[in-house]
Structure 1
Amino acid sequence: MEKGLKPTIGILATVPFIMVLGNSMLIPVLPAIRENLRLSLCQTGLLITAFSIPAGLVIPFAGTFSDYWGRKKIMVPALLVYGTGGLLAGLAAILCKEAAYPWLLGARIIQGIGAGGTYQLAMALAGDLIQGKERIQVLGLLEAANGLGKVVSPLAGAAVALLAWYAPFFVYGILAFPVALAVLLVAKEPPGRRRAPSIQAYRQSLQGIFKAKGVNLAVLFLAGMAVLFALFGLLSLVSDLLKKTYHYQVFHRGLVIAVPVLIMAVTAYLWGIILKRTPAKVLKWSLLGGLFLVAAGIFFFPVFPGPFLKITATALLGLGTGFVLPALNTLVTSSVPGSERGLITCLYGTVRFFGVAVGPPVFGLPVQPEGLFWSIAALLLAVLLLTAFLVKPEKVLPAAMTK
């Protein structure tokens, strides 16, 4: 990597760290929110959904606009909106007290709109700047920063919630505004790359990409959605289980939830370094192995007794997700040239957010646990089979990365 790009990559790594706080920091606090606002488990889960669905809907538009106008011109306002939404949620909780729930949902929607222009554009910009197999390590670093955010955020959320259950909402603004300023002033973009094609040429290029690689991309998108659906759905359920069944206090819940996401972050970072030095076909085996571990964790969770074994099953999800995401990120961001990378990367981000959005409400359904978990494990195995038979890395990656 060029020495002059290291500050840019460092700043870009803070973007996924900040973005992932949007959901992960609230997970250990959800039982307290539920208790103070007198909500059902499903209603509480909607605070995750209200953030994730708007983010997922905004991401493709952010990607398209960034292809035309530049990544920074979208990321900086998006970070400001993200932080503002968090501040509004905190103020709503203070001013409206027990009637704050609908206002919290509205503020979370605003926050989600801002989140839609953050992490995936950071990935796209990193892909613009870094070429060849070095891109694998850089994208692994961004995924590790995302994972580190998942590790730190439950602990931070639990610690800040000791002040008040709504205090974590204010953290979003405190952190997002300085990061927006750093992206504006420090991050670089490739010089001369913003001579945007005509709409017709842009559309024709995308049509060619989907015709040649559409099946591969669709399965890759599905795999990303599936692992994050499973991870966030299970983490939200574990947080509630630790409070209601095992009577863990808020900070202890944060510590326990940090275990699987720490495993995911470390795995993503180290595996990204290893993938840089391995043949491209290893990317596919990384996907298959990771999906199998996630399915295994989901399968065994309802039958394992006690908190230790249940966290062990959850840790399998973290390990599997750490294998899946660096390989996915590399395959998706490397599948297209820079002029279309923003949209493709952001479509990938959309389905990831939809997985996060759907997970907590589904895992909170009042149904028989074994049937629900085993059905989800079967779906994950179906995604694994689709990946095994339909994903061809040599058709997705540029020739320079398959040598």
Structure 2
Amino acid sequence: MEAKQGKANIVAIALIPLVMVLGNSMLVPVLPTMKSKLDLSGFQVSLIITMFSLAAGLIIPLVGYLSDRYGRKWIIVASLVIYGIGGVVSGLAAWLMDNSYGMILIGRIIQGIGAAGTSPIAMALIGDVYSGAKESKALGIIESTNGLGKILSPIFGSLIALIIWFAVFFTFPILCFATAVFVWFGVKEKKKKKGKPLPEYLGALKQIFKQKGRWLIPAFLVGSVGLFILFGVLFYLSDILEESFKIDGIIKGCILAIPLLGMVVTAYITGAKIKQNKPLIRKIMVTGLLLLTGAMLAVSFFQQIFLMVGLLTLGSIGTGLLLPCLNTLITGAVEKAERGMITSLYGSVRFLGVAFGPPLFSWLMKISHQIVFFSMAGLSLVTLIIAFLFIKPGKSKKGETGSEQKLATLFRKREKVPST
């Protein structure tokens, strides 16, 4: 019975990032059509992605605190409902209004607010429900589910757009409301005492960053850059497939899915293998960044479609090595009482990375193909150096680093709980 409940938990939680990632990835193949139908500039159409991600990035820290104080599940369910409502707003605007662009952006902002309480809180919920190797494996599963959503969503987005381009907006409420019901009845959240008041909570966070900020902040930055490059590349690839190669529809969706397939398979295997082995995690993370840097540099010399897709897939494999390592390090960095805020801060910088990818790529594309990928290779190389020099969490000892043991003692003293 317990095993069945455990499976129900992970299936329900895994649906959350799947739905969240559809918010951007399912729209990527539709963006060129939207640009044409609404007579938008490249920058304007990039804001369809940016406003969603920017809203999510700004709201996530607040949602993280609320989830620590009052519980994860109800935050996730409420967020899914808001996410769905935003889809309805954008869809109705595109359908019924002549000048719909502004209202579509408002709907996207509402969706972003809803998305803030989905995947980052799911990561914290996994940390509450699982521990040790099971936690790493579960985090690998949700990163893979996130990637699976990225694989399927360009294909689904292309298929749904065959009905009419804005039909994709009406897909969100259906998926969000169904997932909200599944999470509400399928996830059994462990009972815990009410979280700390805000002043005490912020004080504990200050201690966390004092103890671990030297590697935790660079880890946040590395995750943000990984998502920045991924979504920028998808935006670029979607545009050139249609503009330069005249590839549209389901074929375009399938081509966009190829790099993401490399990422999702790699993320799943990585999450299952790394467990809590910090030296191994660091080696895999550096290897992933090396692959990403090399792929960005190589693709700058080629514009043939098959070579580009192959090299971008190699870069995505590097991202698939990177992200589960960061998830495991960051989720395990703190006590459960502050985990929602830490994973939410991490989710926030990831969303901000996604937000700025498309508009910056849109600007660089006006210069040249070489400039786009030379820039990304340089950025990835700088990120690799930062990861190598600064992301050095302490070695595990009985499940905790030395700083973790000190921090745990500090929390116990604050809460007047005897140390065991």
- Equivalent in the alignment of 1:355: 353
**Conserved? CA contact 2:295–2:314, under 8 Å:** yes
- Equivalent in the alignment of 1:178: 178
Q: Distance in 2 between matches of 1:55 and 1:117?
A: 8
Alignment of 1:234-383 (within 5 A): 234-276=233-275, 279-365=277-363, 366-383=366-383
**Conserved? CA contact 1:283–1:393, under 8 Å:** no
Letter in structure 2 aligned against 1:383: T
Q: CA separation of 1:205/1:2 partners in 2, compared to 1, >3 Å: closer, same or farther?
A: farther
**Conserved? CA contact 1:304–1:310, under 8 Å:** yes
Task: Name the SS for the 2:34 alignment partner.
Answer: helix
Letter in structure 1 aligned against 2:278: A
For these two proteins, the number of residue pairs brought into alignment is 399
Q: Could you tell me how far 1:402 is from its partner in structure 2?
A: 7.1
- Equivalent in the alignment of 2:119: 119
Q: CA separation of 1:398/1:62 partners in 2, compared to 1, >3 Å: closer, same or farther?
A: farther
Alignment of 1:1-400 (within 5 A): 3=3, 4-97=5-98, 99-191=99-191, 193-276=192-275, 279-365=277-363, 366-394=366-394, 399-400=398-399
Q: Could you tell me how far 1:297 is from its partner in structure 2?
A: 2.0
**Conserved? CA contact 2:293–2:377, under 8 Å:** yes
* Cα-to-partner distance string for 1:236-295 (whole Å, 9 max, x where unaligned): 01001000100002211100000011111111111111112x732111111111111112
Q: Distance in 2 between matches of 1:283 and 1:146?
A: 20
TM-score by length of 1: 0.96
**Conserved? CA contact 2:300–2:372, under 8 Å:** no
**Conserved? CA contact 1:150–1:258, under 8 Å:** yes
In structure 1, list runs of 5 or more residues that go unmatched: none
**Conserved? CA contact 2:241–2:252, under 8 Å:** yes
**Conserved? CA contact 2:145–2:264, under 8 Å:** yes
Q: Distance in 2 between matches of 1:379 and 1:173?
A: 37
- Percent of aligned pairs with the same amino acid: 43
* Cα-to-partner distance string for 1:222-242 (whole Å, 9 max, x where unaligned): 110011100100110100100
Q: Could you tell me how far 1:206 is from its partner in structure 2?
A: 1.2
* Cα-to-partner distance string for 1:142-180 (whole Å, 9 max, x where unaligned): 100100000010000000000000011111001000111
Letter in structure 2 aligned against 1:347: L
